[in-house]
Amino acid sequence: MNTTADNWEILFTASSAADLYSAKNYLESEGIETLLQNELAAQIYGNAADKAKILVKEHDVEKATKTLVKGGYLK
C-alpha cells in the first residue's frame, strides 16, 4: 500500500473548453499527469461559475510550467 499523499497544485486556468483540453492533452503528451477542476460547472454555467482549472502534482509544477510556456499556453 502506498501511503505517500500526492499534493496537487493549480497550474492553469482556462478561458474556454478548447484551451482546457488542448493544454491538458499537451501536458499529458509530455508525461505529466493532470486533474481537471470545475470542468463541468464552467461548461454548464459559463461565467457564473469558477473557471475550469488544470492541476498537476506538486513535484511536477516546474516541469509543467515550462512545458506550457514552451507550448504557448503560458507566458
What would the pLDDT profile of 21-64 be if each residue is shown by its tens digit? Answer: 999 999 999 999 999 988 766 556 556 557 789 999 999 999 99
**37 falls within a domain:** yes
Report the alpha-carbon distance of residue 53 to residue 40 in Å, rounded.
11
**3 falls within a domain:** no
Mean pLDDT on 65-72? 97
**56 falls within a domain:** yes
Domain with 51, as residue range(s), is 8-70
pTM, two decimal places: 0.81
**75 falls within a domain:** no
φ and ψ at 52, to 5 degrees?
-70, 145
Q: Are the beta carbons of 17 and 52 closer than 8 angstroms?
A: yes
- Provide the number of structural domains found in the chain: 1
**2 falls within a domain:** no
Q: Are the beta carbons of 65 and 73 closer than 8 angstroms?
A: no
**38 falls within a domain:** yes
CATH of the domain at 21: 3.30.70
